[in-house]
Amino acid sequence: MNASLKYFFLFWIGLTAIALSDEPAVSDVAENEAARIAVIEKIAPSAASIFSSDGKGGGSGVIFTPDGFCLTNYHVVQPCGPYAKVGLNDGKIYDAVVVGIDPVGDVALIQLLGRNDFPCSPLGDSDTVRQGDWALVLGNPFLLAEDFQPTVSFGLISGVHRYQYPADTLLEYADCIQTDASVNPGNSGGPLFNLKGEVIGINGRCSFEKRGRVNVGVGYAISINQIKRFIPQLRAGLWCDHSTLGALAKSDSNGRPAIQDILESSDAYVQGLRENDVLLKFGSRRIYTVNEFKNALGTYPKSWRVPIEYREPDKSGKEMSEPKTIVVRLSGVHSETELMEKVSPKKKFDLSKLPPNLPPEQRKKIEEQAKKQLEGPVLPDAVKAVYEKRPGYVNYYYNKLAKDSTLKAWKKPEASKLATIKGLMEDGAAFTMAFTADGLTITLPETTIKTASAADWSVQSTPANAGFLAPALFAWYKMVTADDEFLKGLTYLGQFPLTEDGKMYNCLVSSYGGVKTEFYFDAQTGALAQIELFEPNAPSVPWTVTFSEFKDNFPTVIKVTYSGSTYGLFKVGEKDEKK
């Protein structure tokens, strides 16, 4: 065999081997493609194209419940007013009411109306997302989806735990997901999916600076696990705020995050955190830098309880103590007034500044525009039925629903059981609590503690060292025997954990007696587990009443604490066996 023929056969054998070796790979590619197409067909009906009520603007969203609750961005619904128009890939346009808004985290919740069987996609677990995972982006970039068929882009998760600074204090993207799947104007508010068809994030921002508003492969999505913490508040028609620890962090000599300054009024201080303490863990996450601390902090709502692990330095500042863990209630970034001012429309007509010689026709037109702005848009009947305007709320209708649902689930004890309660204190001393509509009297061996059912609870007839112990307990009586006036004053505050185990509780809040009182109900059993009453002159440190060991819906252990100290542990029904 000559050399040319020999090399030909060798070349042919090599090509054959390559072809044979590629057959499984080709098959895998085809299977992956088919699986990806099947997932897209499944999730596409849940992708929403969102427009303002006048049909202008545009953004995206994703439906995650059959009754039409849909996630999107705050900056998408901001120009919409109380309601929006939403197109789905069935070619239909639906009215949607704005339910709740998180302007700091750039998230909004709307509800599509007219059906109770909307196509929806499940929410995934963004904590499992890793750099290099495949991802799908669905939405309406550049408003291309004129028939409401969403555009699909495919790419990698190119980064996790990214941080995008806010504009002032709004639109902060903490712990967000970065993807190179195309995200463009119009994709805002749309879903980021994993290949299982689960929503792992809500797209919102891109790195456009100095490049024009076109995709350059760097888009950011708000992690779905952050959003999950806010969903109960969003569903309750609230303006949501994010959290602050009430302390600043700095890098110590080893680059670790250490407390630089801390407010003595903060719960973190009350629980024992001090300057120069080194943070080791925030929530479920290990933190090694100040940036990681800020990134984790930005994902929590106001009033959330977070376990914090830390070490104290010794007097020399060199050696560290054994790790300590505390559970801290986080404060809000804004006051309620400040948040309302930031989200309120800035442009308002001032008719007093119109030129006096303005033509009558032009003046009339401006006056009509001012009237429309004041009155707001004319709502469709479907939206009117589920929208109630009230200062401090996005949509008060949904807050009433959340309150009523919480009260309905509560397994309330019989009011007669609260008439007289007897038992022993932790030290064995006997106590008697006598509740009446006029107030509460607690009788102890050496003293009597009283509170009156007055309009102003800041004026009490209790001993000075008893503080607000009696009003905190009387709040329990008021809830159990609640009349219409008391119930009307309750509003839904959200759903939060109270302890390190992460168990969730629905919170109702009252301003009865001139003080703020929060009632926490077990989200699974409905039991009233805790009451927190805030003194007017100490608004960040509550008097806490904790109920446990229930028998026939009635607690047999009642613990009252304040600022880390126990003011009373009452064991209901126990008798002094010494007698």
Q: Which two tokens mark 466?
A: 């008893």
Are residue 81 and residue 195 in the same domain, yes or no?
A: yes
pLDDT above 90 as % of the chain: 59
Confidence of residue 311 (pLDDT cuts 50, 70, 90): very high
Determine contact, residues 136/156, Cβ cutoff 8 Å.
no
Confidence of residue 215 (pLDDT cuts 50, 70, 90): low
pLDDT at position 164 over 90: no
Does residue 399 lie in a domain region? no
In whole angstroms, give the CA distance from residue 249 to residue 275: 9
Q: For residue 260, what is the domain's CATH number?
A: 2.30.42.10
Does residue 68 lie in a domain region? yes
Q: What is the DSSP letter of 65?
A: S
Are residue 185 and residue 304 in the same domain, yes or no?
A: no
* 44-53, 214-223, 358-367: the lowest-pLDDT one: 358-367
pLDDT at position 1 over 60: no
* 176-180, 289-293, 294-298, 346-350: the lowest-pLDDT one: 346-350
In whole angstroms, give the CA distance from residue 200 to residue 111: 20
Q: Which two tokens mark 77?
A: 């619904």
CA nearest neighbour of 244 among 540, 567, 508, 573:
540
Does residue 401 lie in a domain region? no
In whole angstroms, give the CA distance from residue 9 to residue 359: 94
Domain stops at, among 202, 235, 268: 235
Question: What does the pLDDT read at residue 130?
Answer: 97
Q: For residue 149, what is the domain's CATH number?
A: 2.40.10.120
Are residue 92 and residue 207 in the same domain, yes or no?
A: yes
Question: What does the pLDDT read at residue 66?
Answer: 98
Confidence of residue 430 (pLDDT cuts 50, 70, 90): very high
Is the pLDDT higher at 439 or at 226?
226
pLDDT in tens, 141-162: 888 877 899 999 999 999 999 9
Domain stops at, among 311, 332, 353: 332
pLDDT at position 299 over 80: yes
pLDDT in tens, 220-244: 999 999 999 999 999 999 999 999 9
Are residue 431 and residue 490 in the same domain, yes or no?
A: yes
In sequence order, what DSSP letters do the residues of 283-304 get, joined into one string?
A: TTEE--SHHHHHHHHTTSBTT-
Does residue 40 lie in a domain region? no
Q: Which residue has the tokens 């003194």?
A: 535
Question: What does the pLDDT read at residue 8?
Answer: 52
pLDDT in tens, 75-108: 999 989 999 999 999 999 999 999 999 999 999 9
In whole angstroms, give the CA distance from residue 41 to residue 148: 14
pLDDT at position 12 over 60: no
pLDDT at position 210 over 60: no
Does residue 398 lie in a domain region? no
CA 63, distance to chain mean position in Å, is 18
Does residue 487 lie in a domain region? yes
Is the pLDDT higher at 514 or at 2?
514
Are residue 266 and residue 287 in the same domain, yes or no?
A: yes
* 64-68, 101-105, 107-111, 368-372: the lowest-pLDDT one: 368-372
Question: What does the pLDDT read at residue 463?
Answer: 65
In whole angstroms, give the CA distance from residue 387 to residue 396: 7
Give the amino acid at 575.
K
Burial class (CB in 10 A: 0-12, 13-18, 19+), 19: exposed
Are residue 355 and residue 326 in the same domain, yes or no?
A: no
Question: What does the pLDDT read at residue 373?
Answer: 62
In whole angstroms, give the CA distance from residue 465 to residue 469: 10
Angle (CA) 79 46 207, round 5°:
55
Determine contact, residues 149/89, Cβ cutoff 8 Å.
yes
Number of neighbouring beta carbons within 10 Å of residue 264: 9
Q: Which helix (H) or strand (E) segment is 108 a member of?
A: strand 107-112
> Average pLDDT, whole number, for the chain?
87
Are residue 257 and residue 210 in the same domain, yes or no?
A: no
Q: What is the DSSP letter of 114?
A: S
Tell me the sheet residues that pair with 247. Answer: 262
Q: Which two tokens mark 163?
A: 């941080």
| Domain coverage including residue 495 | 410-572
Are residue 110 and residue 221 in the same domain, yes or no?
A: yes
In whole angstroms, give the CA distance from residue 6 to residue 444: 108
Does residue 391 lie in a domain region? no
pLDDT at position 551 over 80: yes
Does residue 262 lie in a domain region? yes
pLDDT at position 119 over 70: yes
Are residue 288 and residue 263 in the same domain, yes or no?
A: yes
Tell me the sheet residues that pair with 285. Answer: 282
pLDDT at position 23 over 70: no
pLDDT at position 435 over 90: yes
Question: What does the pLDDT read at residue 234?
Answer: 98
pLDDT above 70 as % of the chain: 87
Determine contact, residues 50/58, Cβ cutoff 8 Å.
yes
Determine contact, residues 417/553, Cβ cutoff 8 Å.
no
* 295-309, 311-325, 493-507, 525-539: the lowest-pLDDT one: 311-325
Indicate the pairing of strand 278-282 with strand 285-286. antiparallel
E-state strands within 129-270? 134-139, 151-164, 173-179, 191-193, 199-206, 219-223, 243-244, 247-251, 257-262
Determine contact, residues 138/151, Cβ cutoff 8 Å.
yes
- Rounded to the nearest 10 degrees, what angle do helices 224-235 and 396-409 cross at? 90
Are residue 10 and residue 67 in the same domain, yes or no?
A: no
Are residue 134 and residue 101 in the same domain, yes or no?
A: yes
Domain stops at, among 235, 270, 302: 235
Is the pLDDT higher at 461 or at 428?
428
Determine contact, residues 88/62, Cβ cutoff 8 Å.
no
Determine contact, residues 391/343, Cβ cutoff 8 Å.
no
Query: How many structural domains is the chain composed of?
Result: 5
Burial class (CB in 10 A: 0-12, 13-18, 19+), 392: middle
Report, as residue numbers or ranges, the catalytic residues. 75, 106, 188
Q: Which residue has the tokens 């503690």?
A: 449
In whole angstroms, give the CA distance from residue 559 to residue 546: 5
Are residue 357 and residue 441 in the same domain, yes or no?
A: no
What's the N-to-C CA distance of the chain in angstroms?
116
Confidence of residue 6 (pLDDT cuts 50, 70, 90): low
